[in-house]
């Protein structure tokens, strides 16, 4: 299990920063994360516990989650949506 704490200026930056932190931890520890539990979650801060499993290698490497075209928004049904671009 890994704990991640992230602070950002808005919800889009929060998502991108969180995913980049999870990606960094996955690469450092050679793990894939199968679940996440948020203990704190707001517009500008989150704390989460990642649960995962060790892997020998990754088939494809994602270098980063980019801010390019990233936008977290709520649709007319009240559901949250986003568009993300990965740098591979």
> CATH code at 32?
3.55.10.10
pLDDT tens for 6-61 read 999 999 999 999 999 999 999 999 999 999 999 999 999 999 999 999 999 888 88
DSSP characters over 35-84: EEEEEEE-SSEEEEEEEEEE-S--SS---EEEEEEEEEEE-TTS-EEEEE
Question: What's the total number of domains in the chain?
Answer: 1
Range of the domain at 70: 2-53+62-87
pTM, full prediction: 0.89
């Amino acid at each position: 299990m890994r704990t991640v704490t992230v602070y950002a200026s808005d919800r889009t930056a929060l998502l991108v920063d969180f995913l980049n932190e999870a990606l960094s931890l996955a690469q450092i520890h050679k793990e894939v994360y199968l679940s996440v539990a948020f203990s704190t979650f707001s517009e500008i801060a989150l704390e989460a516990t990642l649960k995962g499993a060790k892997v020998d290698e990754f088939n494809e490497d994602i270098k980063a989650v980019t801010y390019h075209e990233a936008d977290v928004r709520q649709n007319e049904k009240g559901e949250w949506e986003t568009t993300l671009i990965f740098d591979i």
